[in-house]
């Protein structure tokens, strides 16, 4: 069926946001600014955590994974969207569309599980500080990181395999700014009930299981914090967890709004705005959230910038 679809449509047309030239230029400037901030911010976090020995801890190991993931995630979608904003012909090949869907979904799923692992890391750090080093070993952290990426690749393969097999009967105009499952399924000319069931089941696993793990971790964290007698210890514990909760709420909230609904509720203009948040905005905000609320990272960034100035002096 996928081969039939490939011969049926060789390329898809992405309508994007607007046909108004002024609106397209404004969106191009905005998206380009967000993309540059995303790449620079996440690249800085990677460089700082690698070069600073004080940040070679499980928390920053997972943060480095998140930064690398956000760079690849944005690069998979934003450059193509930027090119389309300044192009008259907004097309993408069928193979390119399938690849973009697979990579985007794989990275998005990986981020869901990575947030759950980061919540578990904070739970151990706050609730079992004396055993943190013995529990969160390098081997465990490596296996957890590999596991999140493996889950992303596997679940994305299942979802995309069922999505691209949907016959479109020659329909190739997608009202979206990048190739995404709900947008592609809107082109279907047959009943997609089975696809909806598969998508919903995967969403329950991909979104709800990590969310439950995160919620349970933070309930236990809050209980431990309330038992602390030192106000300084409470403040530090709240500070280390607040940034993670901000990122989690923004990401899971927008992803749930997109995927945890029937295909009949697909509204292109609304869903394109929702997609902007988890494709463009969240990867940009993640480094800002973690650095602005984390003294260790801010100090490491100052030291990194100072070393750079001394090297150029």
Q: Which top CATH class is 2-312?
A: mainly alpha
Binned at pLDDT 50, 70 and 90, residue 3 comes out as very low
Q: Span 297-313, mean pLDDT?
A: 70
Residue 135 in this model has a pLDDT that exceeds 70: yes
* Average pLDDT score, the chain: 85
Pairing of strands 91-93, 11-14: antiparallel
**What is the model's pLDDT at position 263?**
64
Domain ranges in the chain are: 2-312
**What is the model's pLDDT at position 9?**
73
**What is the model's pLDDT at position 1?**
47
**What is the model's pLDDT at position 4?**
47
Binned at pLDDT 50, 70 and 90, residue 312 comes out as low
Higher pLDDT: 2 or 164? It is 164
Query: Which H or E run includes 57?
Result: none
3-state secondary structure 87-139: CCCCEEEHHHHHHHHHHHHHHHHHHHHHHHHHHHHHHHHHHCHHHHHHHCCHH
**What is the model's pLDDT at position 48?**
85
Binned at pLDDT 50, 70 and 90, residue 120 comes out as very high
**What is the model's pLDDT at position 7?**
43
CA end-to-end span of the chain: 62
Residue 146 CB contacts under 8 Å (≥ 6 apart), including other chains: none
Alpha-carbon distance of 55 to 162, in angstroms, equals: 42
**What is the model's pLDDT at position 302?**
74
For 192-249, the pLDDT digits (tens) are: 888 888 888 888 888 889 999 998 998 888 888 887 777 776 776 676 677 778 778 8
**What is the model's pLDDT at position 310?**
66
For 24-39, the pLDDT digits (tens) are: 999 999 999 999 999 9
Binned at pLDDT 50, 70 and 90, residue 171 comes out as confident
> How much is the pTM?
0.87
Pairing of strands 11-14, 173-174: parallel
Q: Span 67-88, mean pLDDT?
A: 92
> From residue 66, how far is each of 109, 117, 160, 257 by CA, in Å?
12, 11, 23, 22
Tracing tokens 């690069």 back to the chain, one arrives at 75
């Amino acid at each position: 069926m996928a081969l039939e679809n490939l011969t049926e449509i060789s390329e898809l047309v992405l309508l994007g946001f607007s046909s108004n030239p002024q609106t397209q230029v404004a969106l191009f400037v905005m998206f380009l600014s967000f993309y540059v901030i995303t790449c620079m911010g996440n690249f800085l976090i990677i460089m700082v955590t690698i070069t600073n020995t004080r940040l070679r801890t499980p928390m920053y190991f997972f943060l480095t994974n998140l930064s690398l993931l956000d760079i690849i995630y944005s690069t998979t979608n934003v450059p193509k969207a930027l090119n389309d904003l300044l192009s008259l012909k907004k097309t993408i090949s069928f193979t390119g569309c399938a690849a973009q869907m697979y990579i985007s979904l794989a990275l998005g799923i990986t981020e869901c599980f990575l947030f759950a692992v980061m919540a578990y890391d904070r739970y151990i750090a706050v609730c079992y500080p004396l055993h943190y080093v013995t529990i969160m070993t390098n081997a465990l952290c490596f296996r957890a990181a590999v596991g999140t990426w493996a889950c992303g690749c596997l679940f994305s393969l299942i979802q995309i395999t069922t999505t691209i097999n949907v016959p479109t009967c020659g329909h190739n105009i997608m009202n979206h700014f990048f190739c995404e499952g709900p947008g592609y399924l809107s082109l279907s000319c047959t009943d997609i009930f089975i696809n909806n069931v598969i998508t919903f089941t995967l969403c329950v696993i991909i979104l709800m299981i990590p969310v439950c793990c995160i919620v349970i971790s933070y309930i236990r964290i809050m209980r431990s914090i309330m038992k602390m007698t030192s106000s300084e210890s409470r403040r530090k514990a709240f500070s280390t967890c607040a940034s993670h909760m901000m990122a989690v709420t923004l990401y899971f909230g927008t992803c749930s709004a997109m995927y945890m609904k029937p295909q009949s509720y697909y509204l292109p203009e609304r869903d394109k705005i929702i997609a902007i948040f988890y494709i463009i905005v969240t990867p940009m905000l993640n480094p800002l959230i973690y650095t602005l609320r984390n003294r260790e990272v801010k100090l490491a960034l100052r030291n990194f910038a100072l070393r750079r100035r001394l090297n150029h002096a």
